[in-house]
Amino acid sequence: MSMGELFSEVGPIHGWAMATAALVSVGAAAVGSMLVVRKMSLLGDAISHAVLPGIVVAVLAGGQPGGPLVILGAIVAALLTVWLTHVLRRGVGLAEDASTGVVFTTFFSIGVILLTSVASQVDLDPACVLYGILELVPFDTVTLYGCEIPRSFLNSLVVVGIVGLGLIVSWRLQVFVAFDLAGARAAGMPVALATIVLLLFTAMTVVAGFEAVGAILIVAMLVVPAAAAELLVHRMHHVVCMAVMLAVTGSIVGYLAAWHLNTNAAGMIAVVLGFEYALAVVFAPADGFVSDLMSVAWLRWRVACEDQLAMIWRFEESAGVRRVTPPKGLIDCVARQWLAVTGQIRSKNGQWRLDSYSRTKAESIVRSHRLWEAWLGRHADLPLDHLHPPAEFIEHHLGSRLLRQIEDDLGQERRDPHGSDIPPEQ
């Protein structure tokens, strides 16, 4: 099926549902990026649950779901949650995660009790609170300039606009506070105001997504795309952009998958977001599982090649007195064959020899080894036969700057503790 056929089959009803999910995910990803960087993800989870009693009370007072009064009620509940968490942490001495857990579970339970006890008086469904009714969003519409537009879409559009504009205006402050809280306080920056603004944006985003994806799954939209983006990129504005891209992709793919599998859309969106995070864990360019494996494999390969070069250099230094031993393992055997194929070593009269380039490289390895042995011999209380193993490990990791510092510390000493000459710097 082509993309055109797919979207013609989707139609306007599913299109509005996907657009609403995408808008909710955009706001959640932008706010969630700040929460994740500031290590406040649990507080975002708390707010997404704790706003429920504020929403129920606001609806009982005559507010419409997603309307200004409901948003105000959610914000009040969110700020009360943060304040009580602060009181329990500072006043009672409870750990931050424990105090957050106590407050948000209590508030959410109060909200559930209120909701179930007055369910006949309010236009809120307990099931909707938990996992949303994204599939029914296109049927609740308002007329705007002669067009029928889903109310949830308009509410989400307004919230995303406010949150986006607010983050742009306060961007420098938010980033400063996120990465250097102590520095921001020392510079006299309004740290408390930045936190309150971020929590207000979180509450507004939660309320906008409440009807579409529910209180439970809005947490996935707040945390998962931002956590995945943090693995993939490392600058704050890149993190936000990547989180938004992942969130929108997860929303569209998740909704389409739920439609074809006839299952809950919000739940499937959360599953797709989780799958995106798993892919980020595996394939992240700097911190991913595959990247780590490749780094370890490359290090082992480099060490094996350098060990072969150093061994042959010592053979040449001793005028054949030392023996070039056969490779001990598969990687050493492959490394020697690779060096021979690439011309870095060659066989002459049955013995391996170095070319000019590989000889310079081997000398730097031996120089690192012997400088470190000399330094250990001077500063560490180790027997002579205990100096070789640590030097054999560290010789592959010393940079030129550190080697010069070691050489300056050793002064005029040009021999290692075994009496071998230390090669000069090339």
The per-residue pLDDT for range 148-198, each reduced to its tens digit, is: 788 878 888 888 999 999 999 989 999 998 888 888 888 888 888 888 888
Q: How much of the chain exceeds pLDDT 90, in percent?
A: 18
Give residue 67's pLDDT: 67
Q: Do 420 and 370 contact (CB within 8 A), yes or no?
A: yes
Residue 5 has pLDDT above 60, yes or no: no
User: For 207-216, what is each residue's pLDDT tens digit?
Assistant: 777 767 776 6
Q: Residue 148's beta-bridge partner residues?
A: 143
Query: Which pLDDT band holds residue 29 (cuts at 50, 70, 90)?
Result: very high
Residue 4 has pLDDT above 60, yes or no: no
Contacts of 254 (CB under 8 A, 6+ apart): 21, 265, 268, 269, 270, 271, 272, 273
Question: DSSP label at 415?
Answer: B
Beta-carbon count within 10 A of 128 CB: 20
Give residue 226's pLDDT: 93
Residue 277 has pLDDT above 80, yes or no: yes
Token pair 């592959």: residue: 396
Structure tokens at 258: 């739920």
Structure tokens at 86: 């602060």
Please report, for the chain, the start and end positions of each structural domain, with discontinuous segments joined by +.
3-284, 292-410
Q: Which residue has the higher pLDDT, 336 or 382?
A: 336
> What separation in angstroms does the CA of 398 have from each of 129, 301, 373, 388?
58, 17, 13, 15
Give residue 10's pLDDT: 53
Q: How much of the chain exceeds pLDDT 70, in percent?
A: 91
Query: Which pLDDT band holds residue 6 (cuts at 50, 70, 90)?
Result: very low
Give residue 30's pLDDT: 92
Give residue 389's pLDDT: 84
Give residue 1's pLDDT: 46
Residue 2 has pLDDT above 60, yes or no: no
The CATH classification of domain 3-284, taken from the options 3.40.50.11310, 1.10.3470.10, 3.30.590.10, 1.10.1740.10: 1.10.3470.10
Give residue 127's pLDDT: 59
Give residue 318's pLDDT: 81
Residue 248 has pLDDT above 80, yes or no: yes
d(CA 160, CA 346): 67
Q: Do 362 and 354 contact (CB within 8 A), yes or no?
A: yes
Tell me how far apart the terminal alpha carbons of the chain are, to the nearest angstrom: 63
In degrees, to the nearest 5, what angle opens at C-alpha 409 toward C-alphas 408 and 413?
Answer: 80
Give residue 321's pLDDT: 63
Token pair 């009360």: residue: 80
Q: Do 212 and 21 contact (CB within 8 A), yes or no?
A: yes
Residue 7 has pLDDT above 50, yes or no: no
Q: Which residue has the higher pLDDT, 212 or 289?
A: 289
DSSP result, 273-328: HHHHHHHHHHH-TTTSHHHHHHHHHHHHHHHHHHHHHHHHHHHHHTTTSS--PPPS
User: For 312-322, what is each residue's pLDDT tens digit?
Assistant: 888 888 876 66
User: For 371-401, what is each residue's pLDDT tens digit?
Assistant: 888 888 888 887 887 888 888 888 888 888 8
Give residue 124's pLDDT: 59
Q: Is the pTM of this model over 0.75?
A: yes
Q: Which residue has the higher pLDDT, 215 or 285?
A: 285
Burial of 62 (0-12, 13-18, 19+ CB in 10 A): exposed
In 118-190, which residue ranges form alpha helices assigned H by DSSP? 126-131, 151-169, 171-179, 181-186
Answer positive or negative: Cα dihedral of 181, 182, 187, 193: positive
Query: Which pLDDT band holds residue 302 (cuts at 50, 70, 90)?
Result: very high
Token pair 């020899």: residue: 353
User: For 219-239, what is each residue's pLDDT tens digit?
Assistant: 888 899 999 999 999 889 999
Residue 287 has pLDDT above 60, yes or no: yes
The CATH number of the domain covering residues in 292-410: 1.10.10.10
d(CA 386, CA 380): 10
User: For 45-97, what is each residue's pLDDT tens digit?
Assistant: 788 778 888 888 887 887 766 667 877 887 888 888 888 887 888 777 777 77
> What separation in angstroms does the CA of 217 have from each of 132, 213, 271, 365?
8, 6, 10, 55
> 105: part of which helix (H) or strand (E)?
helix 96-117
Among the ranges given (46-60, 110-124, 410-424), the one the predictor scored with the smallest mean pLDDT: 110-124
